Structure 1
Amino acid sequence: MRLRTFALIVFALPVCAAPGGNNFVIPLPTDGNGAFQNPRAGWVFISYVKPDAVAPPELSLDSETTPLVWRRNPRSNAWEAMRFLAEGAHTIRNSESARGALDVRAVPEIAFCYYPFDYNVAAFGTPDLPFMDDYVLSDANTIVTRASAIENDPFFAQWNGEGRRWIANAHLPGLGAPTPPDAKTIADEWLQNAGAANSGYSGLIVDEFVPASGAHYQTWTDALRMVCAAPAMKDKTFYAWCVDIYRRDEQIAFCRTLKELGGAFVWEKYLREEPTIEIAERWIDQSIAQRLEEWQRTVPGIERGLIVCLGYMSAPPESLDVDPGVDYAVFLDMQFHALANDPRFFGLRGVMPYMSNYADEEYVRYAQQLIRHYCIEGKRGRMNDDPYVLTHVTNPDFALGLKGWTVDASEEGSTTTDAMDGFSFLQGRYPRYKEGDTFCRMRRGQSLPNRVSQTVLHLTPGRLYSLKMFSANIEHLNENSASELDVSIANAEVINRYSFDYVFASNYAHEVPPYNRDHPAYMTYHRRVFRATSGSAVVLLSDQDAPPGHVTAVNFVQVQPFHAP
């Protein structure tokens, strides 16, 4: 039975954190002359607010002769800048016309991965530069790219002109091979990467360091030293995407070397949902906080070079949003809240949500709101106070048969429940999940359709919600065609702008025989966004448009609050 409680975790403020901040943010007071002390080499956020200001303020930093290049926040209209500054004393110099409120803070590295990009679910729309300006770029200081053509885009120079950074994606030679290439071959390949070879980049990020042989790690360590010693890498950073690589001597040696060379670890922590908030809290603690403590015992000070890379894959064909009975937005908030407040995380270099094209467009926007809340504003309280466990839909995966659903079958036995091993994995639930292999199975009658409905409860009138679900032509999964499921909502206002039905192929790595990268399964992803007009609404599923005898499978019927732009 699901627990329908909501727990608030309160962490003691770390002794190193300044009042008004958290693990990520340290307020940096300025004196009457605009002078402040940066406590460590790292990113500094500068905000200027003057209600009647139309043009950007003419403020300059230290001995620079040109003014700061500002980005106007689309929500607050504040003029904002982020710069990577050396440890020590700095001064923001005001012109006579700049007499507004100045706010200076030490903030973490905030990386966005990737841009440019397209959603795996094309129905989400086009994440073009206007979208990025509105919802992402004010809350980031580093962009990861794998598109060399970006250098010809005016935005490439604009981002650099703001003092923010580009890093280029690179692969790891020898990964998955029985033996690695020699160190020089690896180093030469990395040095040919745009992140090292081309101006305008601040480094490269190598994908990815996972458990491998001692010979691999020795070779990668030797190559790392060669690369970081090369003139092309002067004032640039080597970023290593990695998992928990601190349990073998050769891995530890690599970590110590990268730390000594001033590199960054981008630590992959892709956590799927858990069924209760208590289990979710323990999972965050065990998989991130306790693992960091283990790493610190072998590589003291590792946190200062550590960027925690939180997964927000939340749409097909691969998603950490695996449980239709819990709110993934709340789960994401819990992870950021822990990083911002648990004293064990004090001193982290930064954060990076991973990755934009695998995310629901809602969560691309929402994650940046979490970043603003915790990593720029320095707040300690939760941003999202919704309950973790969703109570709107009963039995959303049909694990309890048809309990909670009203069934109007076209014929005797035409609407039942069934199961298929690996069905949820083909949908994209990741890692492979024991739940979600059950589904409602409707066989279209000769003259009448099947109808399955449920009253959705505990809605707040006026609030937006999303209804998401999967359906499939279960007897023809190999066919690239939409299912014949009709999805409707009664007693609510459907927002067509955010609603769609989208056919997708299973992920290349989600193999469930006979389905694989060359022979995928096809399913349909349904989303309806609606505004509640009362405390309840009715979800109605029907195979009315299917031909007689056609079989449709449906599950993951999820209703949760929707975070609109």
Structure 2
Amino acid sequence: LDGSRVRADLAGLAIGDYTLTATLRRKDTGATILQTTFPISIIDIPAVDRTGHRPLNTLVTEVLAATVKADPAAQAFTFTNPRLGWVFIALNTTRTATGPSATLDGEELLLQDVGSALEAFRELAPGEHRLAIAGNTAEAALVVRAIPEIFNYPPCTNSYVRENGSYGWDFMKEHILPAVTTLNGGSLPGEALTEAKARGLKWLANFNVAPVDDPDGLRERLEKHAGMTDPRYDGCTSDELFFGRTSIDHYTKALWTARNPEARLIYTWIVGKPAIPSLHTDFMAAAMNASRGRGRLLFEAYCHPQPDQAAAEAYLDSMVTETMRRFSAFFPNAAAGTGIIFGNFNQIPIISLEHNPAVDFKVFLDMQVNLIANRPEFQGLATTGYWGTYYGDEEMVRWSFKLMRHYAVEGRKDMLSDQYGFRYNPGFVANPDFAEGLAGWTAEPAAPEAIRAGTIPGFGKSSQGRWGGGAAGDTVCIMARQADRPNRLTQTATGLEVGKAYCLQFVTADRKDLAAKTYNPRHYGIDAELDGADILPDRGFVHVDRRNQGRYEHNTDVAKIALNRIIFRARTPTVTLTFTDARAQAGEELLLNFVQLKPYLE
């Protein structure tokens, strides 16, 4: 007995799998009060020589940096992997007809052409590994880095906003696969599965744990799930558990007793922070010790933007860093079994964390990944990545994995946003959600009160899909179309960079449809005019939400919106935005909000 912990001395046991039985008895009578069993494994952890290892940030360590000579003969290199986990291998050269080729621990290593380098991701055991390069015709730099597992949910699944284009395998190869190791859910059609396996990637099915009311029934469903039986998968993710619900104990019991003879990966999605020592430590132990110690607890770090960068930093400390502190307080070395999974879903009207148009969500997401790459609380973090890629717009998806490449592959510490000139608050449009009435705007109403500010409770949440934003999106500008002439609403944006691409987004809807809950989706008659801008028509769109049913119950049986997106190149540092209802029918009362202007990632 060590304080409040009971320690079992297992010295002398041979390497292998065992069942550990723990019994609590009364000291005076010997009567059994409690008895439980746990599956355990005795493993050999090799000594790792860290000489030459160079930490780049809290996520990435360089374990080899060498020069490959211009020599077609095989050249051998050794490196040590500090833990069971992923490595990134890169050879700074291009492929020719004769090579180069590579082997890792005697087996062929498929190198992918990525820009001017040949690269690979592999999950390796801890200890020493041998890498050989043959057929090299020009001197090249070789690097190997120990990196976290990089997670993406889901692969090859298109956005509900079809105007974003395909998120299929070709898109993934260009924008996602240079910074991902593990795929969850979705699909891998055609040759995608074969190619993913050749790349060494993992694919996990998604297991719906509900209802979590019967440990035995839950265990049986888990054991029969495709992630545990289908040869295409490497395991599954259990979706989802909550620290705030006592039913978490049913899952704990199911996980301890589940049969997993192939040691397939079982990852567990979790919401909230641990608070109850016995209940939550047991759960964390079960989740992280699953799959012979390869289980993961995936924290849903779906962060909501704050009004300014200082407030965002304080929020992220509470939302993300404090969660990691609590994990570590409840479970020793928790980072080694934890995944911090961020939300990259920003797609109005489906589901969007980007509920403040005054904030460039690209920078806010950058702050999140930068946090875990720099704060010591995340040292040795096992996994990071995203949930919700198919709910992100095409720009956000591309940016998301540029961030993973920057921090989790290259090991950078600096903000990627700084390289692009992105700012948390771009500041181009004042009062973009009309929360302050018409302040900052110049109104030219066709009649008295034909342009006015208003509030429509629930509009942002129900019709626009602003997730977790409270009343964000409920304030609007109302344009009542007159028979004789249209209304005009104007604001001048300053400080733009000539030649740079920008994205203007805005939401339109019909006030009368909202009041009557009328389903009449259409391209509403509010348009934007931009003076001082060259429109890039192939990148913009108007998406009309025609769904009869939304993602959640509160998104169903509500009036629909149109999301308008205009991509333009600034011709002058000043661009005048004018909204007009010239296309509207007389008597229509149309709504405008979420007027967002931000730099666009080309």
TM-score (norm 1): 0.89
Matches of 2:428 and 2:383, distance apart in 1: 36
- Is the 1:271–1:310 Cα contact (8 Å) retained in structure 2? yes
Q: Where do residues 57-76 of structure 1 align in structure 2 (5 Å cutoff)?
A: 57-64=100-107, 67-73=108-114, 76=115
Matches of 1:220 and 1:473, distance apart in 2: 46
Matches of 2:433 and 2:468, distance apart in 1: 17
Q: What amino acid does structure 1 have at the position aligned with 2:424?
A: Y
Task: Give the aligned partner of residue 88 of structure 1.
Answer: 127
- Is the 1:30–1:36 Cα contact (8 Å) retained in structure 2? no
SS at match of 2:406: helix
SS at match of 1:337: helix
Q: Where do residues 159-178 of structure 1 align in structure 2 (5 Å cutoff)?
A: 159-175=196-212
- Is the 1:506–1:522 Cα contact (8 Å) retained in structure 2? no
Answer yes or no: is 1:218 the counterpart of 2:246: no
CA offset digits 1:69-115 (Å, max 9, x no partner): 12221xx2311110000000001022254763211110110011101
Stretch of structure 1 that moved more, 310-319 or 95-104: 95-104
Answer yes or no: is 1:138 the counterpart of 2:178: yes
CA offset digits 1:17-67 (Å, max 9, x no partner): 964611111001267731001111100000112246356521101132xx2
Q: What amino acid does structure 1 have at the position aligned with 2:537?
A: N
CA offset digits 1:127-158 (Å, max 9, x no partner): 122111111112111111244xx4x6221021
Query: Structure 1 296/449 Cα, relative in aligned 2: closer, same or farther at 3 Å?
Result: same
Answer yes or no: is 1:436 the counterpart of 2:479: no
Matches of 1:372 and 1:119, distance apart in 2: 22
* Structure with greater Cα Rg: 2
Q: What amino acid does structure 2 have at the position aligned with 1:555?
A: N
How far apart are residue 333 of structure 1 and its match? 0.7
Matches of 1:170 and 1:56, distance apart in 2: 42
Matches of 1:139 and 1:163, distance apart in 2: 13
Answer yes or no: is 1:22 the counterpart of 2:57: yes
**Match among 336, 341, 352 for residue 304 of structure 1:** 336
**Match among 371, 380, 405 for residue 441 of structure 2:** 405
Q: What amino acid does structure 2 have at the position aligned with 1:310?
A: F
SS at match of 1:384: helix
Relative contact order higher in (CA < 8 Å, ≥ 6 apart): 1
Q: What amino acid does structure 1 have at the position aligned with 2:112?
A: R
- Is the 1:71–1:138 Cα contact (8 Å) retained in structure 2? no
How far apart are residue 366 of structure 1 and its match? 0.2
CA offset digits 1:402-454 (Å, max 9, x no partner): 22222221122211111111222121222032333211110100121111111
Q: What amino acid does structure 2 have at the position aligned with 1:117?
A: T
Task: Give the aligned partner of residue 375 of structure 1.
Answer: 408
Matches of 2:94 and 2:110, distance apart in 1: 19
TM-score (norm 2): 0.84
Task: Give the aligned partner of residue 110 of structure 1.
Answer: 150
Query: Structure 1 308/331 Cα, relative in aligned 2: closer, same or farther at 3 Å?
Result: same
Task: Give the aligned partner of residue 325 of structure 2.
Answer: 293
Answer yes or no: is 1:559 the counterpart of 2:563: no
Task: Give the aligned partner of residue 464 of structure 1.
Answer: 501
Query: Structure 1 30/16 Cα, relative in aligned 2: closer, same or farther at 3 Å?
Result: closer
How far apart are residue 396 of structure 1 and its match? 0.9
Task: Give the aligned partner of residue 387 of structure 1.
Answer: 423
**Match among 537, 544, 557 for residue 519 of structure 1:** 557
How far apart are residue 361 of structure 1 and its match? 1.0
Task: Give the aligned partner of residue 485 of structure 1.
Answer: 526
Stretch of structure 1 that moved more, 34-43 or 468-477: 468-477
Query: Structure 1 78/40 Cα, relative in aligned 2: closer, same or farther at 3 Å?
Result: same
Matches of 1:85 and 1:563, distance apart in 2: 35
Task: Give the aligned partner of residue 153 of structure 1.
Answer: 190
How far apart are residue 296 of structure 1 and its match? 1.1
CA offset digits 1:303-343 (Å, max 9, x no partner): 10111111111112221111111211111111111110011
- Is the 1:398–1:439 Cα contact (8 Å) retained in structure 2? yes
Matches of 1:55 and 1:110, distance apart in 2: 32
- Is the 2:353–2:469 Cα contact (8 Å) retained in structure 1? no
Answer yes or no: is 1:230 the counterpart of 2:260: yes
Q: Where do residues 484-563 of structure 1 align in structure 2 (5 Å cutoff)?
A: 484-504=525-545, 505=547, 508=550, 516-563=554-601
- Is the 2:395–2:601 Cα contact (8 Å) retained in structure 1? yes
Query: Structure 1 518/424 Cα, relative in aligned 2: closer, same or farther at 3 Å?
Result: closer
Matches of 1:213 and 1:291, distance apart in 2: 17
For the aligned residue pairs, the C-alpha RMSD in angstroms reads 2.1
Task: Give the aligned partner of residue 358 of structure 2.
Answer: 325
How far apart are residue 230 of structure 1 and its match? 2.6
How far apart are residue 507 of structure 1 and its match? 7.7
Q: What amino acid does structure 2 have at the position aligned with 1:34?
A: F
**Match among 88, 93, 105 for residue 50 of structure 1:** 93
Task: Give the aligned partner of residue 6 of structure 1.
Answer: none
- Is the 1:139–1:368 Cα contact (8 Å) retained in structure 2? yes
Task: Give the aligned partner of residue 250 of structure 1.
Answer: 279
- Is the 1:469–1:554 Cα contact (8 Å) retained in structure 2? yes
Matches of 1:506 and 1:538, distance apart in 2: 36
SS at match of 2:252: helix
**Match among 161, 165, 174 for residue 121 of structure 1:** 161
CA offset digits 1:193-245 (Å, max 9, x no partner): 2211011322100110114654x333212221233x432xx242100011125
Task: Give the aligned partner of residue 455 of structure 1.
Answer: 492
Query: Structure 1 355/52 Cα, relative in aligned 2: closer, same or farther at 3 Å?
Result: closer
Query: Structure 1 507/557 Cα, relative in aligned 2: closer, same or farther at 3 Å?
Result: farther
Query: Structure 1 71/56 Cα, relative in aligned 2: closer, same or farther at 3 Å?
Result: farther
Stretch of structure 1 that moved more, 463-472 or 44-53: 44-53
Q: What amino acid does structure 1 have at the position aligned with 2:171?
A: F
How far apart are residue 542 of structure 1 and its match? 1.1
Matches of 1:494 and 1:45, distance apart in 2: 40
Task: Give the aligned partner of residue 313 of structure 2.
Answer: 281
Stretch of structure 1 that moved more, 322-331 or 78-87: 322-331
Query: Structure 1 159/388 Cα, relative in aligned 2: closer, same or farther at 3 Å?
Result: same
Q: How many residues align?
A: 530
Matches of 1:191 and 1:161, distance apart in 2: 27
Query: Structure 1 47/366 Cα, relative in aligned 2: closer, same or farther at 3 Å?
Result: same
SS at match of 1:374: helix
SS at match of 1:93: strand
User: Is there any run of 5+ residues in structure 1 with no aligned partner, and where?
Assistant: 1-14
Task: Give the aligned partner of residue 388 of structure 2.
Answer: 355
Matches of 2:360 and 2:511, distance apart in 1: 27
Task: Give the aligned partner of residue 47 of structure 2.
Answer: none
Matches of 2:230 and 2:510, distance apart in 1: 49
Query: Structure 1 260/230 Cα, relative in aligned 2: closer, same or farther at 3 Å?
Result: closer
CA offset digits 1:268-292 (Å, max 9, x no partner): 0111110011110001111111121
SS at match of 2:249: helix
SS at match of 2:178: helix
CA offset digits 1:248-284 (Å, max 9, x no partner): 3323211112223321011101111100111100011
- Is the 1:467–1:557 Cα contact (8 Å) retained in structure 2? yes
Identity of matched residues, %: 28
Answer yes or no: is 1:37 the counterpart of 2:80: yes
User: Is there any run of 5+ residues in structure 2 with no aligned partner, and where?
Assistant: 1-49, 67-74
Query: Structure 1 70/297 Cα, relative in aligned 2: closer, same or farther at 3 Å?
Result: same
